[in-house]
Amino acid sequence: MSHKHSILNLLGIKDKNIKVMDKDWLKEEVRNGLHCKIISAKLTYTPEACKCCGCVNEGSIVKNGTKLTHPLLLDMAGCPTYLELKKQRFLCRECGQTFIAETCIVKKRCHITNDVKRSIAVQGTRNISEKDLALEHRVSNNTVKRVFGDFYDTFRQVYTHLPENLAIDEFKSVKSAEGAMSLIICDSDNKKIFDILEDRRNKSIMDYFMRFPQEQRAKVKTVVVDLYGPYQKLFQALFPQAELIIDRFHIVTQVNRALNMARVSFMNTLKKSKDLKANRDYRKLKKYWKLILKKEETLNSTEYRYHRLFKGLVTERGIIDYLLSLDEGLRLNYNAYQTIIFTVNHRKPKLFSSFVHEKQQGLTVKMDQALKTFRQSEKAIINALNYDYSNGLVEGINNKIKVIKRAAYGYRNFSNFRNRIFIEYKLLEIKTAA
Ligand SMILES: [Zn+2]
């Protein structure tokens, strides 16, 4: 392998018509304050036909000078690298017009090689802003946008098929989105994004799913949603055969919030008191808020540790017993909370429904409300305890979407945002012939 061939090989140039110059083929130059490497080469061949009139070359097309171009290559050794490519110009004697030699490494009238564009398209799957991609590849922001447009098709729903098990959640998208919240629909089985809707309001969700054929909607077996009431009615109407499942995490948050509020309202009664003991109890309740939310069965009752506020050795169990002894209301709320999370964690649907239907005394308004919500969506919650599907997957995707948005410093246009999400989740194929 000659060294000139090796140079082309290193640069990844596959076009056989390009030859590196015999001497002075590598120059270094300062361009825009950056040290650049410039590799000189020539592109020439015998054309088969005229590009202008189409006549077959039987000696009528002659070489007629060259045109100097500087297509951008991928960086070499950290330096911007350009190809100083002398393109052959041809003159057609039949029509008297001239045309310039073409190559597969760079498009006609373009000064960015296809390798650079492909690299941008591939790097687009990483969580990196378009601006940084542009800087990294030494192109403009608009080039990056154009490359995405050229290499990826815009995602379009075909409305022919629906997954059997859906997981649906909402997320905060772009400002321009109606209602500022968008809806994400996932396939619980293959764990992929199925679609992203700009508007999460009932009418547009209805319009969207109604575009799928009736038999596809009837095939949906489960839908995981959050506790938001109107959604449950809507999805039950859209998917008559489906079992609605409330996400378990949302069940727990309801009682979690209620217990926290019960604790804080009790703390506020202590705060006003001038009594020293009450003050100390206030601080205890404030400090051990996390312990109160801990699952009762995991509280440690054997390990004694020193706790400053207790001025002595005490176990976790001991702390909780003391805190609950302060107020009967707090104790009742605590028990309700622990029963709910126990039934959810250990999947005890029967215990759950008997508990929420029991007449409870001394609960705060918030806790009562939580239990009332549970009664209203009882069937869907029981499903949550019987099925393994949850919204964990969607919450994870939501989290990544947030990061995508942050990395780009926000998106103004919803469809650009959506497309980038699909690109980063590798749900859009890179087009090979671009
Ligand atoms: Zn011609």
Cα(40) to ligand 1 centroid in Å equals 29
Q: Alpha carbon of 409 to those of 50, 128, 174, 398: distances in Å?
A: 50, 11, 11, 16
- Surrounding ion ligand 1 within 5 Å at CB are 50, 52-53, 92, 94-95
Cα(99) to ligand 1 centroid in Å equals 9
> What mean pLDDT value characterizes the chain?
89
- The 10s digit of each residue's pLDDT in 87-116 is 999 999 989 999 999 999 999 889 999 999
Cα(58) to ligand 1 centroid in Å equals 11
Neighbouring residues of 235: CB distance < 8 A, sequence distance ≥ 6: 168, 223, 225, 242, 244
Cα(431) to ligand 1 centroid in Å equals 33
Tokens standing for 92?
């057609």
Cα(100) to ligand 1 centroid in Å equals 12
Share of the chain above pLDDT 90, in %: 46
Cα(54) to ligand 1 centroid in Å equals 6
Cα(65) to ligand 1 centroid in Å equals 16
pLDDT (mean) for 235-248: 89
Please give the Cα distance from 168 to 231 (Å, whole number).
10
Cα(60) to ligand 1 centroid in Å equals 8
What pLDDT is attached to residue 177? 66
What pLDDT is attached to residue 433? 55
Helix/strand/coil (H/E/C) assignment for every residue in the chain: CCHHHHHHHHHCCCCCCEEECCCCCEEEEEECCEEEEEEEEEECCCCCECCCCCCECCCCEEEEEEEEECCEEEEECCEEEEEEEEEEEEEECCCCCEEECCCCCCCCCCCECHHHHHHHHHHCCCCCCHHHHHHHHCCCHHHHHHHHHHHCCCCCCCCCCCCCEEEEEEEECCCCCHHHEEEEEEECCCCEEEEEECCCCHHHHHHHHHCCCHHHHHHCCEEEECCCHHHHHHHHHHCCCCEEEECHHHHHHHHHHHHHHHHHHHHHHHHCCCCHHHHHHHHHHHHCHHHHHCCHHHCCCCCCEEEHHHCEEECHHHHHHHHHHHCHHHHHHHHHHHHHHHHHHCCCHHHHHHHHHCCCCCCCHHHHHHHHHHHHCHHHHHHHHHCCCCCHHHHHHHHHHHHHHHHCCCCCCHHHHHHHHHHHCCCCCCCCCC
Cα(109) to ligand 1 centroid in Å equals 20
Cα(408) to ligand 1 centroid in Å equals 49
Please give the Cα distance from 349 to 386 (Å, whole number).
7
Please give the Cα distance from 289 to 266 (Å, whole number).
13
What pLDDT is attached to residue 19? 93
Cα(21) to ligand 1 centroid in Å equals 29
Tokens standing for 183?
């809806």
Cα(98) to ligand 1 centroid in Å equals 8
Where are the chain's structural domains?
Answer: 3-111, 165-247+390-424, 249-386
- The 10s digit of each residue's pLDDT in 143-179 is 999 999 889 888 888 889 999 999 998 888 877 766 6
Cα(13) to ligand 1 centroid in Å equals 29
Residue 292, CA atoms < 13 Å, CB-side half-sphere: 28
What pLDDT is attached to residue 5? 87
Cα(97) to ligand 1 centroid in Å equals 6
What pLDDT is attached to residue 47? 92
From the options 3.40.50.11440, 3.40.50.300, 3.30.413.10, 3.30.420.10, give the CATH code of 165-247+390-424: 3.30.420.10
Please give the Cα distance from 149 to 121 (Å, whole number).
9
Asked if 422 and 153 count as a contact pair (C-beta separation under 8 A), the reply is: no
Residue holding tokens 């045309």?
A: 99
Share of the chain above pLDDT 70, in %: 98
Cα(90) to ligand 1 centroid in Å equals 10
Neighbouring residues of 260: CB distance < 8 A, sequence distance ≥ 6: 289, 293
Cα(10) to ligand 1 centroid in Å equals 36
Cα(114) to ligand 1 centroid in Å equals 28
Residue 274 has pLDDT above 90, yes or no: no
Please give the Cα distance from 64 to 67 (Å, whole number).
10
Cα(66) to ligand 1 centroid in Å equals 18
* Residue 174: how many other CB atoms lie within 10 Å: 18
Please give the Cα distance from 384 to 349 (Å, whole number).
9
Cα(71) to ligand 1 centroid in Å equals 27
- The 10s digit of each residue's pLDDT in 4-49 is 889 899 888 989 999 999 888 999 999 889 999 999 999 999 999 9
Cα(62) to ligand 1 centroid in Å equals 11
Cα(393) to ligand 1 centroid in Å equals 61
What pLDDT is attached to residue 179? 66
Cα(102) to ligand 1 centroid in Å equals 16
pLDDT (mean) for 264-270: 90
Please give the Cα distance from 390 to 225 (Å, whole number).
9
pLDDT (mean) for 317-322: 93
Dihedral sign for Cα atoms in the order 189, 191, 192, 196: positive
Please give the Cα distance from 247 to 232 (Å, whole number).
12
Cα(55) to ligand 1 centroid in Å equals 6
Cα(46) to ligand 1 centroid in Å equals 14
Q: Given pLDDT bands bounded at 50, 70 and 90, which one contains residue 65?
A: very high
pLDDT (mean) for 363-392: 88
Tokens standing for 296?
């009762």
Cβ-defined contacts of 180-183 (< 8 Å, 24+) = 182/414
- The 10s digit of each residue's pLDDT in 187-201 is 988 888 999 988 888
Cα(56) to ligand 1 centroid in Å equals 9
Q: Given pLDDT bands bounded at 50, 70 and 90, which one contains residue 1?
A: low
pLDDT (mean) for 199-227: 89
Cα(61) to ligand 1 centroid in Å equals 8
Cα(430) to ligand 1 centroid in Å equals 36
Neighbouring residues of 155: CB distance < 8 A, sequence distance ≥ 6: 418, 419, 422, 427, 428
